[in-house]
């Protein structure tokens, strides 16, 4: 028989087996219905002779069951084995759900390839290899299609097919990472099929797989897509939840939509339009505030007491170097040959706009030589940051520079 007993008969949750070997906490039985970790599906949980099974791996002599403590039994003795039913059921649902999702991907994505699969206690991931961009709309459609498959109650079956025959079947999805348990004896491959809605319909999905599955998609329950990411070039990872986690995810999303609709004083279905209106209003207000702040800053800088040959030197608060620099370049001119603004954002800064004599870059270099930090620029505009001195001290220094240049 190809694959594992658990995959061939996933409804078995308890059995008796004879101990074949014991190596400290590693136990091999004459047969086992525990699923050994393979192809992205985790090992079954449960007990052997009342001792917790912490891991199950495929070994040369059969399944190696790693127990939480040494077993109080001898080789040749028959012991009771109990599989954790809820976790086995979860893995069956999750694994079949991944096939249903891949089937949905076949219908939405171009040149689809299989990049990997994994089940953990909270979520399931499927890696799609496709040039198609899986944006929000595609993600929503994937979720809709896979939940429709659940609703349609499609039958699920598995069978042994000769390898060469399977390789010639275009509808079968092959992936080396998930074939570990599907081609155990090398002559046949275990093929899992999610059938169509009728006898003459094409199957929803066909894949080489050695995992455990439910017999009908209605056993999966609701599926909630959680996220997508890009683990590699040309690959999109979709993570989803089944069972309680999926239900809680839907509750959270639904409650968030209701709260957002109340806040926007609209209905849930009208939220996109409401958000568009609010975003437009927000952008208009942001632009208006920016314009008002720019006018205020310009008035403030124009109000600097002139020093030297009419230089405008002073401090600002609540504005960063970019804001100050933009206004300084607007204010500088024949009547105000140099504008030097000193301020503090994350660290003290100075921005200087000049008509060219003296050069702004030269002045910033003088400031950073005196107060530390760094910066630079051209003859007409420069800025420096990371100054260590008090703002008023920097202003005093620039005032002295203005006086010295006035006497040149």
Task: Looking at the structure, tell me whether residues 36 and 106 fall in a common domain.
Answer: no
Of 328, 407, 319, whose CA–CA distance to 364 is shortest?
328
Which residue among 64, 83, 102 closes a domain? 83
Question: Does 213 map to a domain?
Answer: yes
Task: Looking at the structure, tell me whether residues 95 and 180 fall in a common domain.
Answer: yes
Task: Looking at the structure, tell me whether residues 163 and 249 fall in a common domain.
Answer: yes
Token readout for 358 is 């003296």
CB-based contact 49:80 (threshold 8 Å): yes
- Please provide the size of the chain in residues: 408
Question: Does 271 map to a domain?
Answer: no
Task: Looking at the structure, tell me whether residues 117 and 175 fall in a common domain.
Answer: yes
Question: Does 289 map to a domain?
Answer: no
Q: What stretches in the chain show pLDDT beneath 70?
A: 1-3, 174-186, 199-200, 345, 407-408
Q: Any idea what the CATH number is for the domain that residue 319 is in?
A: 3.10.310.40
Task: Looking at the structure, tell me whether residues 299 and 257 fall in a common domain.
Answer: no
Task: Looking at the structure, tell me whether residues 166 and 215 fall in a common domain.
Answer: yes
- The structural domain count of the chain equals 3
Q: Which stretches of 128-219 are DSSP H helices? A: 136-151, 163-168
Chain-centroid distance, C-alpha 50: 40
Question: Does 267 map to a domain?
Answer: no
Task: Looking at the structure, tell me whether residues 52 and 178 fall in a common domain.
Answer: no
Task: Looking at the structure, tell me whether residues 239 and 313 fall in a common domain.
Answer: no
Q: What is the per-residue pLDDT for 138?
A: 96
Task: Looking at the structure, tell me whether residues 249 and 145 fall in a common domain.
Answer: yes
Question: Does 47 map to a domain?
Answer: yes
Which residue among 215, 240, 261 closes a domain? 261
Structural domain of 98: 89-261
Question: Does 76 map to a domain?
Answer: yes
Task: Looking at the structure, tell me whether residues 189 and 321 fall in a common domain.
Answer: no
Q: Are strands 338-344 and 188-194 parallel, antiparallel or unpaired?
A: unpaired
Task: Looking at the structure, tell me whether residues 369 and 354 fall in a common domain.
Answer: yes
Beta bridge partners of 385: 349, 374
Q: What is the per-residue pLDDT for 1?
A: 39
Spatial distance between the Cα atoms of 351 and 383, rounded to a whole number of angstroms: 4
Question: Does 284 map to a domain?
Answer: no
φ/ψ of 373, rounded to 5, equals 85, -160
Q: Any idea what the CATH number is for the domain that residue 42 is in?
A: 2.40.30.130
Residues 6+ apart with CB under 8 A from 393: 371
CB-based contact 226:248 (threshold 8 Å): no
Q: What is the per-residue pLDDT for 114?
A: 86
Q: Any idea what the CATH number is for the domain that residue 248 is in?
A: 3.30.980.10
Task: Looking at the structure, tell me whether residues 240 and 383 fall in a common domain.
Answer: no
Question: Does 111 map to a domain?
Answer: yes
CA 370, 371, 375 angle in degrees (round to 5)? 95
Which residue among 35, 52, 83 closes a domain? 83
Alpha-carbon torsion (58, 63, 69, 70), positive or negative: negative
pTM of the model: 0.72
């Amino acid at each position: 028989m190809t694959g594992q007993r658990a995959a061939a008969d996933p409804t078995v949750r308890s059995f008796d087996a004879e101990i074949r070997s014991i190596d400290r906490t590693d136990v091999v039985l004459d047969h086992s219905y525990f699923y050994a970790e393979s192809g992205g599906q985790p090992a079954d949980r449960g007990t052997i002779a009342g001792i917790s099974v912490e891991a199950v791996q495929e070994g040369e002599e059969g399944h190696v069951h790693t127990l939480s403590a040494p077993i109080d039994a001898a080789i040749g003795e028959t012991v009771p084995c109990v599989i954790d039913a809820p976790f086995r059921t979860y893995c069956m649902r999750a694994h079949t759900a991944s096939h249903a999702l891949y089937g949905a991907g076949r219908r939405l994505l171009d040149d689809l390839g299989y990049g990997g699969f994994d089940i953990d206690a909270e979520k399931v991931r499927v890696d799609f290899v496709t040039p198609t961009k899986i944006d929000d709309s595609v993600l929503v459609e994937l979720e809709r299609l896979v939940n429709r498959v659940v609703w349609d109650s499609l039958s699920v079956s598995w069978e042994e097919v000769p390898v060469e025959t399977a390789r010639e079947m275009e509808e079968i999805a092959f992936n080396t990472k998930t074939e570990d348990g599907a081609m155990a004896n090398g002559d046949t491959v275990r093929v899992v099929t999610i059938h169509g809605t009728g006898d003459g319909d094409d199957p929803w999905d066909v894949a080489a797989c050695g995992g455990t599955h439910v017999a009908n998609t209605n056993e999966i329950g609701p599926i909630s897509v959680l996220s997508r990411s890009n683990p590699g070039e040309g690959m999109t990872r979709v993570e989803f939840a089944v069972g309680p986690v999926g239900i809680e995810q839907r509750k959270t999303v639904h409650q968030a939509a209701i709260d957002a609709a109340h806040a926007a004083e609209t209905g849930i279905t009208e939220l996109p339009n409401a958000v568009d209106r609010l975003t437009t209003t927000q952008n208009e207000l942001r632009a208006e505030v920016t314009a008002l702040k720019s006018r205020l800053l310009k008035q403030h800088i124009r109000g600097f007491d002139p020093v030297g040959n009419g230089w405008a030197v002073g401090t600002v608060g609540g504005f960063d170097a970019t804001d100050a620099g933009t206004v300084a370049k607007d204010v500088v001119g024949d009547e105000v040959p140099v504008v030097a603004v000193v301020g503090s954002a994350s660290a003290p800064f100075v921005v200087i706009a000049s008509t060219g004599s003296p050069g702004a870059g030269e002045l910033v270099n003088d400031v950073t030589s005196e107060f530390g930090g760094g910066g630079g620029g051209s003859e007409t505009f420069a800025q420096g940051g990371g100054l260590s001195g008090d703002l008023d001290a920097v202003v005093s220094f620039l005032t002295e520079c203005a006086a010295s240049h006035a006497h040149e």
